[in-house]
Homo-oligomer: A and B are copies of this chain.
């Protein structure tokens, strides 16, 4: 039985929080189609690798970033999404701590961080993929401990709070947030160290704890 033949790619929505903005990693396309336009990083799945493996490989090859969290997002396969041939892409969502994009060894055009609200007019259906990824990230922060994926190995409660504020675009009360995250068992692990960053009282440093679910969730009210 002969079945239609597809090309399968993985595309990556790589998000981070830097300079008080939610940013996505984009690459400039050098070849047709959509040459000169921005696109999400990605590439073809190899004949002998799994989808998740391909996503991790592309992330390492194209960006070299330290990754905080990687999960499958969704698949997109509209018949005309690639003018060359029938392509189904399996989009993945990666949350990474703030870090500069390594310039060396990238096999694509230079990658760079772009605030998500400025990332419009992407190649293929990547506008839609990006929107879905951002939406997924916003939703998951409500009921999981994934905010820590945006933070470095050691971080303060204020850094974690700023992540939530940036992702949700909403100010949070520092005292209530502190009570919530420190009150959830195994969410954070104190290191005993403290940090002074800009003038205030030194803050405790934490690592990620073993808990990955938040019960009850954060941000339940609309206002």
Residues of A within 8 A of B (CB): 3-8, 44-51, 72, 74-79, 86, 88, 90, 143, 215-217, 220, 222
Identify A79's interface contact among B47, B74, B76, CB under 8 A.
B47
- CA–CA, A48 and B48, complex, Å: 27
Q: Kindly provide the distance from the CB of A13 to the nearest chain B CB, expressed in whole angstroms.
A: 15
**Most chain B C-beta atoms within 10 Å of own C-beta, residue among A47, A51, A77, A222:** A77
Chain B contacts for A8, CB-based, 8 A: 4, 6, 8, 77, 88
Main secondary structure of the interface of A (DSSP, over half): loop
- CA–CA, A87 and B90, complex, Å: 13
Q: Cβ of A77 and Cβ of B4 under 8 Å apart? A: no
| A-B contacts besides A3-B7, A6-B88, A50-B79, 8 pairs, CB < 8 Å | A4-B44, A4-B45, A4-B47, A8-B77, A47-B79, A47-B86, A143-B143, A216-B216
Chain B contacts for A51, CB-based, 8 A: 75-77, 88
Q: Cβ of B76 and Cβ of A75 under 8 Å apart? A: no
- A sample of 16 cross-chain residue pairs with beta-carbon separation below 8 angstroms, ordered by A number, consists of A3-B7, A3-B44, A4-B46, A5-B7, A6-B6, A6-B8, A6-B45, A8-B8, A45-B88, A47-B86, A50-B78, A50-B79, A51-B76, A72-B74, A88-B88, A88-B90
